[in-house]
Amino acid sequence: MVTVVISRLGLKSKLNMAIPFTFTKRMPREWALRGVLAIGAAWLGYGAVNDSIAYAIQGSSTDRAHAISPSNGRITALLSNKTIQSAATVEGLVRADALARMALKQDASAVDAVATLALIAQGRRDNQTARRLFAYSDNLSRRDLRTRLGIIEEAVARGDVPSVLRNYDIALRTSRLAGDILFPVLSSAIADAAVRKQLILMLATVPPWSSSFISYVTMQGPDTQATAALLRALYQQRIVLPTDTAAIIIDRLIAQNQGSAAWTYYATVTPNVDPRRSRDPSFDKGPDVPSAFDWKPLQDSGITTSVQRNEGGGVFEFAAATSIGGPVLRQMQVLPPGYYVLEGQSAEIDQDGAALPYWSLNCLSGREIGRITVPNSGRNGGRFAGRLTVPADCPVQDLTLVTRGSDKVSGTTGQILQTALRPAQRSEPK
């Protein structure tokens, strides 16, 4: 052992410190072993850096990632996935197949590679091999969407509806992209009563994707009547539906001239309604999002309307600027043919005769079949009444309150405190 003494100079105390170092003579074999270990560590470090770089760019540049780390099974599997997606020739499929097999040699758990081979087998109509590979991929990961879609397609070919929906459920639970792919297909499939029945049972368990699907099918389901049937069944199962569901599906049905189906839906979700009578006579029981069969305030340039509700009841208010008139309140009806009475009470209406508002009953085609003027509120306590006749060729009607342009500086204002349309009694004069 050799002792080296280091003296610190320039201090007033002249303090000297001695720090001993020991040098040990090593054998050549030890130096060789250390060199090999250093090279190995450097190689591992280089490989780790390459893998890190490859993983960082695998999504945007899979080919380059594979070139940087060609022995990484997961990246090779991802490249096989990308290759089969863009394969337009036999050569492309052959390359995807080769990459997938290479990936599995590098990493037997590379689920992308298994899914690629399964899809290739499915394309060759080798259903037995495809089923075996999809099962293997499913065991590796329930999150692979391609695997799930392949299993769904195979179950569809077998006509196994419960299996199809079970795998829809898994896909929608595990993949953010699944909804974009599967919601349109599922929305079309509910036209099949067997599929709809099974789907209702599944949605009754309230899976995490149910609310999104219900909103999607309500607005975009291609078969509106099938959609309405699904929503009615869900309501009867006491599944909570979005507040605007009824308004959307009823409006869609009416737009397709399916007034009877629209009323059927409305009657399901609105207990104790009578097609021979208007609804909510005191404006205090309407839903937050009204459908066509509820009172719907109408607004336009120069016209403002609102329904005000409180503990004592409700009131409909309207105001129109000078010389401006138009519809302000509407409720759709499905009155059977016959004689009817419209009655109600107003407040704050004070206009010349030619500017008084009126109720108009029109067929859905636009043909007016009756009109009743609302007199000034100072007359008879604001009460009004009149008779209407519904012909047999008018199965769906609109009951609309219309204002007429007034020359008054204040324009037209008023309130409807209550109004009801009901069948006429035999004792009432025609």
The DSSP string of 93-157 is HHHHHHHHHHHHHH-TT-HHHHHHHHHHHHHTT-HHHHHHHHHHHHHH-S--HHHHHHHHHHHHH
Q: What is the pLDDT of residue 143?
A: 81
Amino acid letter, residue 409: V
Q: What is the pLDDT of residue 63?
A: 54
* Coil vs helix vs strand at 231: helix
How many helices and strands in the chain, by DSSP H and E? 14, 10
Identify the bridge partners of residue 420 per DSSP, sorted by sequence position. 343
Pick from 169, 175, 180: which is nearest to 220 by CA?
180
The DSSP string of 297-320 is E--BTTEEEEEEEETTEEEEEEEE
- Cα–Cα distances (Å) from 15 to 5, 9, 20, in that order, read 13, 8, 16
Q: What is the pLDDT of residue 2?
A: 35
CA angle 103, 105, 110 (to 5 degrees): 45
Radius of gyration of the chain from its Cα atoms, rounded to whole angstroms: 38
Say if CB 217 and CB 246 are below 8 A apart. no
pTM (whole model) above 0.85? no
Q: Taking 80 as the threshold, does the pLDDT of residue 215 lie above it?
A: yes
Q: What is the pLDDT of residue 253?
A: 95
| C-alpha to C-alpha distance for 132 and 118, rounded to whole angstroms | 8
Query: Which tokens in the block code for residue 278?
Result: 């208007």
More confident residue, 12 or 338: 338
**pLDDT tens digits along 217-235:** 999 999 999 999 999 999 9
Domains along the sequence of the chain with CATH:
171-273 (no CATH), 296-423 (2.60.120.260)
Q: What is the pLDDT of residue 336?
A: 96
Say if CB 323 and CB 407 are below 8 A apart. yes
Say if CB 360 and CB 403 are below 8 A apart. no
| C-alpha to C-alpha distance for 376 and 383, rounded to whole angstroms | 9
Q: What is the pLDDT of residue 109?
A: 74
Q: What share of the chain is helix, strand, coil (3-state, %, to 5)?
A: 45, 20, 35
More confident residue, 124 or 340: 340
Q: What is the pLDDT of residue 135?
A: 81
**pLDDT tens digits along 232-288:** 999 999 999 999 999 999 999 999 989 999 999 999 999 899 999 999 999 998 888
